[in-house]
Amino acid sequence: MSAAEPNYLTADFRLRSWFITTDHKRVALLFFATITLFFFLGGAAATLIRLELLTPRGDLVTSDVYNRLFTMHGVIMVWFFLIPSIPTTFGNFMVPLMIGARDLAFPRLNLTSWYLFLIGGAVTLYALFIGGVDTGWTFYTPFSTMYSNGHVVLAVIGVFITGFSSILTGLNFIVTIHRLRAPGLTWYRLPIFLWSLYATSVILVLATPVLAITLLLVAIERLAGVGIFDPKLGGDPLLFQHLFWFYSHPAVYIMILPGMGVVTELVTCFSRKTLFGYKFVAWASMAIAAVGFFVWGHHMFVSGQSVFAGLVFSFMSFVVAVPSAIKVFNWTATLHKGWVHFDAPMLYALGFIGLFTIGGLTGLFLASLAFDVWVTDTYFVIAHFHYIMVGGMVTAYFGGLHYWWPKITGRLYPEYWARAAAILIFFGFNMTFFPQFILGILGMPRRYHAYDPALQVWNVLSSAGASVLAIAYALPLFYLGWSLFWGRKAGPNPWRATGLEWQTSSPPPKHNFIETPVVRRGPYEYTPDPVPQNA
């Protein structure tokens, strides 16, 4: 970095310049700080849950407090960490860099998105701390509207506001990827990370508004006491579930698709090989986004929906597994005969592939009608979706964090600490959640703070794993923080990667590129020697 050309961090040192910034890189860091806070808040709730479940008797907290704890954990982790996680941080930072643009299409809208997120988060946190909500993150009616004694309306309003943050981010990505690609950057030359963010954005834009109207109706029913979903007043609680899952199942793909995109970048870069079956991986994201809109009923197999609906939703849920499997096979084929480097980002990527596969396969168990009846509302379901969201998504998030850290900060992180954390996360995660599959099969129901003493050994194992996991997740705070001040200077391209984001200095200058790059080739030309996209 020469003194003449300040980077985006040194362009303006005043604190005020951060709060009025429209630079996508700074907005990404604002989001990063905010969601990191939420991650540790949600994690604290999870820690208390696992502490309570250490013993079969409900002795640490009352059942009422326990309800509020798991609701807090779910609401924070779903809407204030997982949904925004990769899109608002690495997405915001990398989309313009990867397509050779100076910023997102609507820079001011991007900052608006952060403020909406902050306001929504503050409102929901306020609701959670002045007494909490006991409905679970799903706000099922009529409990949430007629019987719950928690602050449902306030929590719902916070989520509603945050939804518009999601929508604006998705809209910005769609327009940016369509209209701001550098000369020569055709769709089939886009890095897969952008395809998966594009697919994610389509879901953000089309599914989130349905959640918004549903939550609005819940708030109206609760405030006005009129029947919308309450069967006593002529309403239909199943309608709520349909509307809610029409958003919330695609929301699972909002969480996992960006992770798949990150892992694709990592697998090619660290096996020094072209991606196997580029077009299949690209279109698999789109297929997941499209089919993912038609599987929501598998959350309602035991709700009383018709058997025919159950069959159709079961079949569609099997269909959506096909593109997911295509991705796993293509990553594996990319590794095959690659020159695999086990740097920390790659350890996370490999961990992702394994954990996501377990999560995906157990998803097929749950998509089977008969088996689902057996394990509905048990720890099997909990284990399954934590394998996807924590084992999958959070692992990919940490992989991306390490991969792009040198680009974002200009510093290298300490490699051995990072590898240790990656391995610790993998083992801690499995130790926490694999016993929960067994607990589910044995019939332990979710959302109870007391359980049959015969199940204690698996619960103790799970809680022990959770403490390992908690330490492993806290580690990066320290060594990444350390590297900000004492890490080695990274240089523009420490991984010898081919994407456009690596062809500018680290940290990038305020407007990303001194000169708009011209793209001449696909994203993953690693063999025999890596060739940048603009060379």
Partner 1 sequence: MPEAQPAFPYATLPQQHEAAQLGMWTFLATEILFFGGLVLAYFVYHYGYPQDFDAAARHTKIVLGTTNTAILLTSSFLVAWAVTAGKTGFGRGAAVLLAAAAGLGLIFLALKGLEYSEEYRERLVPALNFSFDAAHARGAQLFFVFYFVATGLHAIHVAVGIAILLAIANRARQQRYSADYHAPLTVAGLYWHFVDAVWVVLYALIYLPGRSGA
Phi/psi of residue 256, nearest 5 degrees:
-95, -30
Q: Interface with partner 1 includes 17 (CB under 8 A)? A: no
Instruction: Give whichever of 215 and 349 is closer to partner 1, judged by the CB atom.
Output: 215
**Long-range Cβ contact pairs of 142-149 (< 8 A, separation 24 or more):** 142/229, 142/230, 142/231, 142/232, 142/235, 142/237, 144/218, 144/222, 145/218, 145/221, 145/222, 145/228, 145/229, 145/230, 146/221, 146/222, 146/230, 146/232
**Torsion, Cα of 319, 259, 327, 392 (10° steps):** -80
Q: How far is the CB of 205 from partner 1 (least distance, A)?
A: 5
The label of the residue with tokens 């886009």 reads 190
Site for partner 1 in 59-98 (CB under 8 A): 96
What b/e sequence results for 265-293 when a residue is b if at least 16 CB atoms lie within 10 Å of its CB, and e otherwise?
bbbbbbbbbbbbbbeebbbbbbbbbbbbb
Q: How far is the CB of 220 from partner 1 (least distance, A)?
A: 6
3-state secondary structure of 441: helix
Span of 37-45, 66-74, 213-221, 396-404 interacting with partner 1 by CB under 8 A: 213-221
Binding mask 471-510 for partner 1 (x = CB under 8 A): ----------------------------------------
Site for partner 1 in 100-139 (CB under 8 A): 101-107
Q: Interface with partner 1 includes 463 (CB under 8 A)? A: no
- Applying CB under 8 A, among 212, 316, 444, 455 the residue interacting with partner 1 is 212
- Applying CB under 8 A, among 1, 205, 319, 531 the residue interacting with partner 1 is 205
Q: How far is the CB of 324 from partner 1 (least distance, A)?
A: 24
| Distance in Å from the first CA to the final CA of the chain | 22
Q: How many residues bind partner 1 (CB under 8 A)?
A: 42
Phi/psi of residue 59, nearest 5 degrees:
-115, -20
Tokens of 397: 């998030």
Q: Interface with partner 1 includes 185 (CB under 8 A)? A: no
Q: Interface with partner 1 includes 383 (CB under 8 A)? A: no
Q: How far is the CB of 136 from partner 1 (least distance, A)?
A: 21
CA 361 to CA 359: how far, in whole Å? Answer: 6
Span of 147-155, 218-226, 313-321, 417-425 interacting with partner 1 by CB under 8 A: 218-226
Span of 211-219, 252-260, 354-362, 375-383 interacting with partner 1 by CB under 8 A: 211-219
Binding mask 133-172 for partner 1 (x = CB under 8 A): ----------------------------------x--xx-
Instruction: Give whichever of 181 and 327 is closer to partner 1, judged by the CB atom.
Output: 181
Q: How far is the CB of 521 from partner 1 (least distance, A)?
A: 22
Q: Interface with partner 1 includes 520 (CB under 8 A)? A: no
Q: Interface with partner 1 includes 174 (CB under 8 A)? A: yes
Instruction: Give whichever of 170 and 494 is closer to partner 1, judged by the CB atom.
Output: 170
CA 217 to CA 234: how far, in whole Å? Answer: 15
CA 301 to CA 304: how far, in whole Å? Answer: 7
Q: How far is the CB of 209 from partner 1 (least distance, A)?
A: 4
- Applying CB under 8 A, among 6, 58, 184, 227 the residue interacting with partner 1 is 227
Amino acid sitting at position 275 = L
Instruction: Give whichever of 217 and 469 is closer to partner 1, judged by the CB atom.
Output: 217
Q: How many helices (H) and strands (E) does the chain have?
A: 17, 0
CA 204 to CA 186: how far, in whole Å? Answer: 24
Q: How far is the CB of 102 from partner 1 (least distance, A)?
A: 4
Q: Interface with partner 1 includes 289 (CB under 8 A)? A: no
Q: How far is the CB of 511 from partner 1 (least distance, A)?
A: 8
Secondary structure of 3-45 in the HEC alphabet? CCCCECCCCCCCCHHHHCCCCHHHHHHHHHHHHHHHHHHHHHH
Instruction: Give whichever of 216 and 514 is closer to partner 1, judged by the CB atom.
Output: 216
Q: Interface with partner 1 includes 257 (CB under 8 A)? A: no
- Applying CB under 8 A, among 44, 118, 119, 226 the residue interacting with partner 1 is 226
Phi/psi of residue 469, nearest 5 degrees:
-60, -40
Contacts of 114 (CB under 8 A, 6+ apart): 27, 30, 31, 34, 88, 165
Q: Interface with partner 1 includes 184 (CB under 8 A)? A: no
Instruction: Give whichever of 107 and 277 is closer to partner 1, judged by the CB atom.
Output: 107
CA distances from 217 to 145, 212, 244, 300 (A): 10, 9, 11, 20
- Applying CB under 8 A, among 37, 44, 119, 239 the residue interacting with partner 1 is 239
The label of the residue with tokens 């809407």 reads 79
- Applying CB under 8 A, among 191, 235, 428, 440 the residue interacting with partner 1 is 235
Instruction: Give whichever of 224 and 514 is closer to partner 1, judged by the CB atom.
Output: 224
- Applying CB under 8 A, among 213, 311, 361, 514 the residue interacting with partner 1 is 213
Q: How far is the CB of 180 from partner 1 (least distance, A)?
A: 7
Q: How far is the CB of 213 from partner 1 (least distance, A)?
A: 4
Q: Which of 8, 91, 101 shows the shortest CA–CA distance to 517?
A: 101
Contacts of 93 (CB under 8 A, 6+ apart): 24, 25, 28, 29, 404, 408
Phi/psi of residue 65, nearest 5 degrees:
-65, -35
Positions in the binding site for partner 1 (CB under 8 A): 96, 101-107, 167, 170-171, 174-175, 178-180, 205-210, 212-214, 216-217, 220, 224-228, 233-236, 239, 243, 246, 511, 516
